[in-house]
Amino acid sequence: MTTPPCSGVEARRETDVFVLPEPSATLDLAMDDGAPIRVVRHGNPTGPRVVLSHGNGFASDSYFPFWRPMLDRFDLCLFDFRNCGRNPFHAAEPHGYRRFARDNVAVHGAIAEEWGKKTTIGIFHSMSAIAALLAVTDGVWHWDALVLFDPPVVPPQGNPLHDELLTDGGVLRDAALIRKNRFPDPDELADVFRYLHRFRRLRKGVPELNARSTLRFDPASGEWLLSCPGPVEAGLYVEVGELPIWRKPHPPERPLMIVGADPEADGTSKTASCCRLYSETFGIEYACVPDTSHLLQLEEPERCFALVEDFLSRNGVVA
């Protein structure tokens, strides 16, 4: 497959404050080990369904700039993985990709049972994209289309990108291990996102939105706590190197696209180059968004959504 150049639309909106809509419905689930996961529903209940989740250390609400354009047309079902976002903390173990892949399948089935079966599109980023891809490579396909944003697919040993991606992951793991987990106010965490160089491309307003989405208020202490504590988040950054992910997704010839960060952008993660190589190796449709990093949906949400719309239309998933 010939890899296309980075592409996207030019529209861009600056927003100081993102105000989340109230969900039209909620679905509270318990996984088979008791871990709670809440699904929230937004948008058009008569439209095709989009199931969406987040990357490591984030929450589905963090992606509002990306999913906001879907509200009029799509039946949006958002969920946070165990120990993240809206979900109360359950346990530090198991908190890994194989468990996430099982949770993903369980959540999909529960949504269909509660709100009916219909055309369903999975849209996942990073951590949740790897969870979805693990299920697909094992032959579990329950999507009419699947879009994965910058999954950290680690090449086999011997490929230079293998060590480079795991080195990046080690840096993120070490940072998560020493991360502050308590804050007097969400604004303090937002300041962290505004300060750190790797978040420099975030759309205006996203640091505040992400802080609100990843913290929960603790009445006992009067502080705001990270929903997913740093030490729980940390191991995922290197666990990807142990996963049997570098193989052709099964079943083949299904609508699957990987949207990567810009491999040529200054300071971008090695995930971008790995996504490009993975797509070329296994003949998967691929696109990338210019001048973006691993958090591309929070940097160029309109361009990311435009690529999704075009992909779904070309594959006859939506009119």
Q: What is the dihedral of CA 128, 130, 133, 137, to 10 degrees?
A: -150
Centroid of chain to Cα 253: 23
Whole-Å CA distances, 49 to 18, 267, 306: 23, 35, 17
Mean predicted confidence (pLDDT) in 60-85: 97
pLDDT at residue 17, rounded to an integer = 73
User: How much is the pLDDT for 5?
Assistant: 52
Average pLDDT score over residue span 275-296: 97
> What average pLDDT does this structure show over 35-42?
98
Nearest to 178 by CA among 237, 236, 231: 231
Q: What is the pLDDT of residue 187?
A: 95
pLDDT at 12 over 50: no
- pLDDT, tens only, 161-183: 999 999 999 999 999 999 999 99
Under a CB-based contact definition with an 8 Å cutoff, are residues 315 and 145 in contact? yes
**Which pLDDT does position 6 carry in this prediction?**
59
| Mean pLDDT within 79-103 | 94
**Residue 103: band (very low, low, confident or very high) from pLDDT cuts 50, 70, 90:** very high
**Average pLDDT, integer, range 263-280:** 94
pLDDT at 3 over 70: no
Query: So what's the pLDDT on residue 13?
Result: 39
On average, the pLDDT of the chain sits at 93
| pLDDT band (50, 70, 90) for residue 11 | very low
Query: Average pLDDT of 307-315?
Result: 97
Residues 69-80 have a mean pLDDT of: 97
CA distance 41 to 22: 9
Q: What are the structural domains of the chain?
A: 25-313 (3.40.50.1820)
- pTM attached to this predicted model: 0.94
Q: What average pLDDT does range 16-39 have in this prediction? A: 94
> Would you say 298 and 206 are in contact if contact means Cβ atoms under 8 Å apart?
yes
In the three-class reduction of DSSP (H, G, I as helix; E, B as strand; rest coil), residue 216 is classed as strand
Question: pLDDT by residue (tens digit) across 210-222?
Answer: 999 999 999 999 9
